[in-house]
Amino acid sequence: MQRADEQLRDGERSTSRFLKKQVVHNFRQAVQTLQECHPKAGIVRQLVEEHLQKNPNERILIFSEYRDTVEHLVEDLNQIPGAIVDRFIGQSKRGKKEGMTQKQQLKQLERFRNGEMNVLVATSVGEEGLDVPSASMVLFYEPVPSAIRAIQRRGRTAREQSGSVHVLVANDTRDVYVLHASRNREKRMHNVLARMRLEIPVGSYEVRKEGNLLEFEIVDGDSSRPALEFLKEERLRLKSIEEETKVDASENNAETSSNDSPKTPALHTRSRSQKSLFEFGEDAVDPWSPILDGRDINRQ
């Protein structure tokens, strides 16, 4: 509402009428003295305090969907002893609040990398496409519906050492459905990858020296051999049988065609009204004879 009030001159008339209502004005005056009532802000502060007490030299990366939340968290978390917190947002403008230029973004990442600040609060711009340094703890202020975005965020931690990931979900809100949607999509991605692994060529097992196939053996009576070796031999055996079958089939077709009487080559498919070239020989009937006979050529 404050941002809409700042943009009142450029805003729509419906927004202006809404902000001028007495009940809206009273509401805005009342909430100015209220403290943060959502439990997530307190949970974030608690997690950051506990982590910095145990690991004062490590870094924390917090993701939020909204810039207003980023600004609030930066202001709140900077009150923690030993916490140096700053924001990381995109380049676009929101009302009178300017975004961060690319130069400013790179400077922030350099400060975070060098340890000049240990807590970075970012919007979705920090998920991918930028060289965001690794953090020992990644915190989702709210879950994201995209499995790819969730994986990208989690990948910002545990690169060089163990790390932790926390996702804040408010019960009985859309957070619950967003979390389930993200988990289901990620599960489908893993299922697709599992099916792709089943189609790995045999040679790749020899190159990588890993895979479930290398853990099995084929037992034939009193002897046993590796499953990979058995599979390679079976493929060669089946391939030779297939080639022999093709050779026999081609020989049978050749004998059948030689015993049959020669057939007149079939003419190309043509319309019934179109004459063949064979009809224009010396013994062919003159195609214009219907006119001489006094018949209707169009009917012919």
Q: Are residues 157 and 180 in the same domain?
A: yes
Last residue of some domain: 167, 196, 225? Answer: 196
Q: Are residues 181 and 86 in the same domain?
A: yes
Counting the structural domains of the chain, the total is: 2
Q: Are residues 19 and 107 in the same domain?
A: no
What CATH number is associated with residue 59?
A: 3.40.50.300
pLDDT at 11 over 70: no
Q: Nearest 5 degrees, angle CA 21-CA 23-CA 27?
A: 115
Amino acid at 110: E
What number is the average pLDDT over the span 251-280? 60
Last residue of some domain: 154, 173, 196? Answer: 196
C-alpha span between 88 and 106 (Å, rounded): 10
Q: Are residues 171 and 46 in the same domain?
A: yes
Is 224 part of a structural domain of the chain? no
* pLDDT per position as a tens digit, 80-138: 998 999 999 988 877 667 888 889 988 998 898 888 899 999 998 887 766 677 788 99
Is 68 part of a structural domain of the chain? yes
Last residue of some domain: 196, 227, 253? Answer: 196
Is 266 part of a structural domain of the chain? no
pLDDT band at 295 (very low <50, low <70, confident <90, very high): very low
Is 120 part of a structural domain of the chain? yes
> Roughly what angle, to the nearest 10 degrees, separates helices 147-154 and 174-198?
90
Is 36 part of a structural domain of the chain? no
Q: Are residues 61 and 156 in the same domain?
A: yes
Q: Are residues 16 and 109 in the same domain?
A: no
Is 298 part of a structural domain of the chain? no
Q: Are residues 189 and 88 in the same domain?
A: yes
Pairing of strands 164-167, 137-140: parallel
* pLDDT per position as a tens digit, 22-44: 999 899 888 888 877 789 999 99
pLDDT at 166 over 70: yes
Q: Are residues 175 and 75 in the same domain?
A: yes
Q: Are residues 17 and 89 in the same domain?
A: no
Q: Are residues 190 and 45 in the same domain?
A: yes
**How far does Cα 109 stand from its chain's mean position?**
25
Is 77 part of a structural domain of the chain? yes
Domain that includes residue 104, residue range: 41-196
Is 81 part of a structural domain of the chain? yes
pLDDT band at 297 (very low <50, low <70, confident <90, very high): very low
Eight-class DSSP state of 143: -
Burial of 55-74, coded b for 16+ CB within 10 Å and e otherwise, reads eeebbbbbbbeebebbebbb
Q: Are residues 171 and 83 in the same domain?
A: yes
Q: Are residues 26 and 85 in the same domain?
A: no
